[in-house]
Amino acid sequence: MKEISAGGVVYRRTENHELQIQLIQDRYGKVSLPKGKMEPGETVEQTALREIEEETGMRGVIKAPIDQIKYRYHHETKGMVDKEVHYYLVEAVDGSLQAQVEEIRGVDWFTPQEAWRRQRKFGYDNNDRILAGALKLLGVEVTGND
């Protein structure tokens, strides 16, 4: 069975033109990125934007694709599932930051360096290249455990 999800690295610029990156804390307490399963009739882009808005309260505009993560996991009733997650660079354009408590524990904005530090320390390993790819698209260089 195949399962497709989509999400994104959401960013904004403050009134002082400072770049901020959005991170969520998932239900397991890990640093992560908003994402969710595609619903019938949706494109992966629509899924990404819907999930970001549902989980974080922010409406966004896709600026560029970042990358995909593919992995397999075992589901109790469906058996082995081939999971494909599409990530996009998304600029926040409207909304107010509010965590969807049924899905995640929290959401907040961070400087690019702090977002990278938190991802490396508290995030999922396969999200390293997603966040690094987003930061590169935004013109921010990160290395190692900065």
Ordered domains of the chain (ranges, CATH): 2-137 (3.90.79.10)
Predicted confidence at residue 145, as pLDDT, reads: 53
Predicted confidence at residue 103, as pLDDT, reads: 86
pTM above 0.85, yes or no: yes
* SS3 state of residue 49: helix
If you search the block for the tokens 């400087």, which residue do you land on? 111
- Taking the C-alpha atoms of residue 49 and residue 29, their distance in angstroms, rounded to an integer, is 23
DSSP string, 61-122: EEEEEEEEEEEEEEETTTEEEEEEEEEEEEEEEEE-----TTTEEEEEEE-HHHHHHHHHHH
- Taking the C-alpha atoms of residue 52 and residue 49, their distance in angstroms, rounded to an integer, is 5
Using a pLDDT cut of 70, give the percent of the chain over it: 97
Is residue 146 over pLDDT 50? no
Q: Convert the pLDDT of each residue in 11-50 to its tens digit.
A: 999 999 999 999 999 999 999 999 999 999 999 999 999 9
Using a pLDDT cut of 90, give the percent of the chain over it: 91
